Amino acid sequence: MKKILSIILLAVAVFGLAFSRPALAADTAKGAKIFSANCAACHIGGNNIVMAQKTLKKDALEKYGMDSIEKIVYQAKNGKGAMPAFIGRLSDSDIEDVAAYVIEQAEKGW
CATH number for the domain spanning 62: value is 1.10.760.10
Residue 1 lies in a domain: no
41/55 Cα distance (integer angstroms): 13
Residues annotated in the binding site for heme c, as ranges?
A: 39, 42-43, 83
Residues annotated in the binding site, as ranges?
A: 39, 42-43, 83
Q: Could you give the residue ranges of the DSSP H alpha helices within the chain?
A: 2-19, 28-38, 40-43, 58-63, 69-78, 92-108
Residue 11 lies in a domain: no
The residue segments making up the domain with residue 43 are: 26-108
Q: How far is CA 79 from the centre of its chain?
A: 15
Per-residue confidence of the chain (110 residues) as pLDDT tens digits? 777 756 665 556 555 555 544 445 799 999 999 999 999 999 999 999 999 999 999 999 999 999 999 999 999 999 999 999 999 999 999 999 999 999 999 999 99
Q: How many domains does the chain have?
A: 1
The burial class, CB within 10 Å (0-12 / 13-18 / 19+), for 102 is buried
Residue 7 lies in a domain: no
CA-CA distances (angstroms) from residue 70 to 15, 50, 62, 88, 99? 29, 23, 13, 17, 8
